[in-house]
C-alpha cells in the first residue's frame, strides 16, 4: 500500500493485497516486496521516491531489531529478521517495523479517536486480538517488548488451545478465527448469522466471546485505568453489538466505579484502514525522530 | 507503627496493632490516631518529632486528594477523605496517603527485591490481592488512579461474587479471605492444611486458586512484560509452593517465550513488614520531592 502523507490523515493512493504465502519466510518477504513494487507501479513511482517505509507485523516482536519472535499463523516466522530482510528486498537501508497494534495505536493517537488522550488502550478484534497500551502519554513496551499483547490475557480457567500455545486467552474465545473454528466454519460472520437465527451452538459461542471481551474490558479498566479504549478490527467493525457493547456493559456493571466513570469505549476512527494508515503515520513519527512518546 | 529512617531500610522502633473498628469511618480515624500516639509513647516521642507520616490504605483511592473511593471491607469508607481526616486527628497539616500496594512497591523498589528494576510488578497475596505496576521506571496510575489493581483482573468466566461486586476476579478465587469463605472457615491456613491432608474440597479450592494465580501471572507477563514480579503478602509468605511456584510454572508453560525468558517471580525482600516499611520509604521519597518516578 502506498500513501501520500500530505494531510493530518495520509491518503492511500495505491493498494495491493495478497494472500500470505504458506511456503516459508523467504516467500513471504518476496511477496511483500512484489506487492510494494506493484502498488508503486500503479502510481508511476519507485521505491527511491518513498520518504519512509513502515511494516506492520504480528507480535511478539522486537521493534528495535526488526525481529519477529513468533508468528503462529505464518509458517517460518521464528526469530525472523523481517525488518532487515524486507529492507534488503526493497533495496533500502532500513524500514520501520513494529507490531500491527502499536502502529494502529499511534495512528489513532495522532490522527484518530485517541487524539489528545494520555491514557488509552487500542484493541483490535479481528482474526486475532491484540492491542497497545498508552499510559500517561507513554507507549508501554515492557522488558520483552510484548506489553500491550492483551489478546493473550487469560480470562477463563479453561478453554480451547490458543494459537500461542496457552489456553483461556481472550483471543482463543473471542477472535474471529476461533469463533469460526468453534463452530466448524471458515468465517466468523457465519457464526454471528447463525446466532442471529437462534442456533443454540452459535449463541453459546457468541455468548462466551462476549463474556471473554467483558472480562478483558473490566480487567483493563481496573488494572490499567485508561480514559479511552479504542476498538478496531474487522469483527469490531461489523459486530459492534457483540463487541463494543458487551465491553461497555461489563465495565458499567463490574469495574470499580471510579475506573468505569473515567473510561469510554469507542470505535477506531481510522476505520478498516487503521492498520495501514497507522503504519504510514508511524513511519512519519519515526522519521521525525519521535519514538516512544505520543503525548 | 513508628520507624527510625537512618539506613537504607528503616528500623521499626514501635508497633501498635488494632482491629479495624466496624462502627464507621470516624471510629477508624480515631483508632488510627490512638494507635499512632500509643506507639509514639512507647519510645517517648510525640507527633511533632516525626519528619513525615505515611498512611497505607486499601484502594481504589485518589492519592493526590487523600480520598478512599470504596473499601468493601471497611464500613463507612465511601469517598472518604482519610488523608485530611487523619492529618486532623494527629494535629498535622498533611500526611502522605497512598494505596498499600503502591507503598509496598516503592519500598521494594528503593530498598528491596526490585532495586534497580525498571519494569516490575508488585503483587500482594493476602486477605485480598492487589498490586502496583512500574513500567520503564514509571509507576502506572491511569485516568482514575486505579492502575495496578490487578486483584480485580477477571481470570474466570464465572465464580463467586467478589468484594468489589464483580466476579471472576483473581482476588475472589485466590485471596485468603475467599479461600477461607469457600471452605466455610475463618482462616485460609485451615484450607491449606486440609488440602495437604488430601481433603478433596480443599484440594479443589486450592487448585482453583493456583489456576487463577497462573492466569494472572501469564496475563501480566504477556500484556505488561515485567522483568520482575515481586510477590508479598501473608499467603505468599506462608505458602510459596501454592503461590509463587504455580505462577512460575504457568509463565514457563503458557506465556510468550520472550516474555517468559525476561521475567523472574521472586518473594518480597522486605518480608512481612513490606507494607509498613513501604509507607516509611514512601513518605521519605515524597518528602524528598520524588513522586511518580522511581528509576
- pLDDT exceeds 70 at position B292: no
pLDDT of residue A295: 52
* Interchain pair B225, A141: CB under 8 A: yes
Q: Output the average pLDDT for chain B.
A: 94
Between A290 and B221, whose confidence is greater?
Answer: B221
SS (H, E, C) B17-74: CCCCCCCCHHHHHHHHHHHHHHHHHHCCCCHHHCCCCEEEECCCEECCCCEEEECCCC
Kindly tell me if the per-residue pLDDT of B198 is higher than 90. Answer: yes
Among the partner-chain residues B69, B168, B262, the one whose CB lies closest to the CB of A143 is B262
pLDDT computed for residue A74 by the predictor: 83
Q: Round to whole Å and give the CA distance between A158 and A161.
A: 9
Instruction: State whether A218 and B166 contact (CB < 8 Å).
Output: yes
Range B2-99+275-287: architecture per CATH: 2-Layer Sandwich (3.30)
Report, as an integer, the average pLDDT of B265-286.
Answer: 91
pLDDT at A195 over 70: yes
Q: Name the pLDDT band for B293 (thresholds 50, 70, 90).
A: low
Measure A130 CA to nearest chain B CA, in Å: 10
Residue in chain B nearest A212 by alpha carbon: B157
- Give the model's confidence band at B199: pLDDT under 50 very low, under 70 low, under 90 confident, else very high: very high
Interchain CB contact of A155 with B (< 8 Å): yes
Residues of B in contact with A256 (CB under 8 A): 60, 69-70, 144, 146, 149, 152, 164
Query: Cβ B143–A262 below 8 Å, yes or no?
Result: yes
Q: How far apart are the first and last CA of chain B?
A: 28
Residues B117-135 pLDDT 10s: 999 999 999 999 999 999 9
Cα separation, B179 vs A142, whole angstroms: 32
Mean pLDDT on A155-167: 95
User: How close, in Å, is residue A208 to chain B by CA atoms?
Assistant: 8
Q: What is the pTM of this model?
A: 0.95
The pLDDT, as a whole number, for residue A75 is 82
Which residue in chain A is spatially nearest to B130 when comparing CA positions? A223
Distance from the Cα of B243 to chain A's closest Cα (Å) equals 16
Residues of A in contact with B258 (CB under 8 A): 60, 62, 69-70, 144-146
B 95-134 near A (Cβ less than 8 A): 119, 131, 133
- A167 contacts on B by Cβ (under 8 Å): 254
- Do A102 and A62 contact (CB within 8 A), yes or no? no
Mean pLDDT of A194-216: 98
Q: Check pLDDT > 80 for residue B73.
A: no
Q: Does B272 touch chain A (CB under 8 A)?
A: no
B2-99+275-287 and B113-268 share one fold? yes
**Least confident piece of the model among B28-32, B72-76, B228-232:** B72-76
In tens, the pLDDT along B246-265 reads: 999 999 999 999 999 999 99
* A163: contact with B, CB 8 A cutoff: no
Q: CB neighbours of B33 closer than 8 A, spacing ≥ 6?
A: B86, B89, B90
pLDDT at B6: 86
Angle between helices B274-287 and B100-111 (to 10 degrees): 80
From 3.30.1280.10, 3.30.420.40, 3.40.50.720, 3.50.50.60, which CATH number describes the A115-268 domain? 3.30.420.40
**Which residues on A lie below 8 Å from B138 (Cβ)?**
135-136, 138
Residues A68-119: pLDDT tens digits? 998 877 888 899 999 999 999 999 998 999 999 999 999 999 889 999 899 9
State the DSSP code for B292. S
Residues 30-69 of A with CB under 8 A from B: 60, 62, 69
The chain B residue lying nearest A227, using CA atoms, is B143
With vertex at residue B250, the alpha carbon angle to CA B244 and CA B252, rounded to the nearest 5 degrees, is: 105
User: Residue A219: its pLDDT value, please?
Assistant: 98
* Mean pLDDT confidence for A193-210: 98
Q: Cell 519514538 identifies what position? A: A291
pLDDT reported for residue A188: 98
Which of A138, A149, A262 lies closest to B256 in CB terms? A149
Spatial distance between the Cα atoms of B15 and B271, rounded to a whole number of angstroms: 16
Q: Do A152 and B218 touch (CB under 8 A)?
A: yes
Rounded Cα distance between A236 and A252, Å, is 19
> Where residue A58 falls among pLDDT bands split at 50, 70, 90?
confident
Q: Tell me what pLDDT residue A275 has.
A: 86
Partner residue facing A143 (CB), from B165, B212, B227: B227
SS3 assignment, position A155: coil
pLDDT tens digits for range B226-241: 999 999 999 999 999 9
Mutate to test the interface with B, among A60, A77, A207, A219 (most CBs of B within 10 A): A219
CATH number of A2-102+274-287: 3.30.420.40
In this complex, do A157 and B156 lie within 8 Å of one another by their Cβ atoms?
yes
> What CA–CA distance (Å, rounded) separates B158 from A138?
34
Reported as a pLDDT band with limits 50, 70 and 90, residue B72 is confident
Residue B105: pLDDT above 80? Answer: yes
Query: What's the confidence (pLDDT) of residue B185?
Result: 98
Q: What number is the average pLDDT over the span A24-41?
A: 95
Subunit contact B258:A69, Cβ cutoff 8 A: yes
Least confident of A161-175, A239-253, B2-16, B280-294: B280-294
Give, in words, the CATH class of B113-268. alpha beta
Whose cell is 494459537? That residue is: A163
Is the separation of the CB atoms in A264 and A228 below 8 Å? yes
Mean pLDDT within A172-183: 97
Q: What is the pLDDT of residue B291?
A: 67
Residue A294 banded pLDDT, cuts 50, 70, 90:
low
Interface contact flag, B60 A215, Cβ < 8 Å: no
CB pairs under 8 A between A and B: 197
In this complex, is the C-beta atom of B263 within 8 Å of any C-beta atom belonging to chain A?
Answer: yes
CA distance A235 to chain B (A): 21
Distance CA A194, CA A180 (A): 11
> Could you state, in order of their start, the residue ranges of all structural domains in chain A?
2-102+274-287, 115-268
Average pLDDT along chain A: 94
Most distant CA pair in chain B: distance in Å? 56
For B157, nearest residue in chain A (alpha carbons): A156
Looking at beta carbons, which residues of chain B come within 8 Å of A165? 254
The pLDDT confidence band at residue B70, using thresholds 50, 70 and 90, is confident
B278: alpha, beta or left, given left = phi > 0 and alpha = psi -120 to 50?
alpha
- Yes or no, beta carbons of B69 and A256 under 8 Å apart: yes
Residues of A within 8 A of B167 (CB-CB) are 254
Q: Which of residues 188-247 of B touch A (CB under 8 A)?
A: 208, 211-212, 214-215, 218-219, 221-227
Q: Are B291 and B284 in contact (CB under 8 A)?
A: no
Residue pLDDT, tens place only, B164-177 = 999 999 999 999 99
* 3 state SS of B187: coil
pLDDT band at A293 (very low <50, low <70, confident <90, very high): low
Amino acid at each position: 500500500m502506498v500513501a501520500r502523507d500530505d494531510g493530518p490523515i495520509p491518503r492511500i493512493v495505491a493498494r495491493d493485497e495478497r494472500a500470505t504465502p504458506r511456503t516459508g519466510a523467504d516467500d513471504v518477504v518476496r511477496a511483500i516486496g512484489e506487492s510494494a513494487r506493484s502498488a508503486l507501479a500503479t502510481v508511476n513511482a519507485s521505491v527511491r521516491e518513498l520518504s519512509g517505509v513502515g511494516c506492520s507485523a504480528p507480535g511478539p516482536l522486537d521493534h528495535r531489531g526488526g525481529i519477529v519472535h513468533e508468528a503462529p499463523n505464518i509458517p517460518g516466522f521464528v526469530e525472523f529478521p523481517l525488518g532487515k530482510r524486507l529492507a534488503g528486498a526493497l533495496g533500502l537501508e532500513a524500514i520501520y517495523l513494529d507490531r500491527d497494534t502499536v502502529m494502529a495505536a499511534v495512528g489513532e493517537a495522532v490522527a484518530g479517536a485517541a487524539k489528545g488522550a494520555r491514557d488509552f488502550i487500542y484493541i483490535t478484534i479481528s482474526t486475532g486480538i491484540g492491542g497497545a497500551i498508552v499510559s500517561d502519554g507513554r507507549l508501554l513496551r515492557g522488558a520483552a517488548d510484548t506489553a500491550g499483547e492483551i489478546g493473550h490475557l487469560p480470562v477463563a480457567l479453561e478453554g480451547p488451545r490458543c494459537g500461542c500455545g496457552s489456553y483461556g486467552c481472550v483471543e482463543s474465545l473471542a477472535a474471529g478465527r476461533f469463533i469460526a473454528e468453534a463452530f466448524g466454519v471458515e468465517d466468523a460472520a457465519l457464526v454471528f448469522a447463525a446466532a442471529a437465527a437462534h442456533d443454540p451452538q452459535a449463541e453459546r459461542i457468541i455468548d462466551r466471546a462476549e463474556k471473554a471481551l467483558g472480562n478483558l474490558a473490566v480487567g483493563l479498566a481496573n488494572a490499567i485505568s485508561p480514559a479511552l479504549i479504542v476498538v478496531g478490527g474487522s469483527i469490531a467493525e461489523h459486530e459492534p453489538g457483540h463487541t463494543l457493547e458487551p465491553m461497555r456493559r461489563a465495565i458499567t456493571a463490574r469495574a470499580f466505579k471510579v475506573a468505569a466513570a473515567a473510561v469510554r469505549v469507542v470505535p477506531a476512527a481510522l476505520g478498516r484502514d487503521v492498520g495501514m494508515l497507522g503504519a504510514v503515520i508511524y513511519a512519519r513519527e519515526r522519521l521525525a525522530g519521535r519514538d516512544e512518546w505520543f503525548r
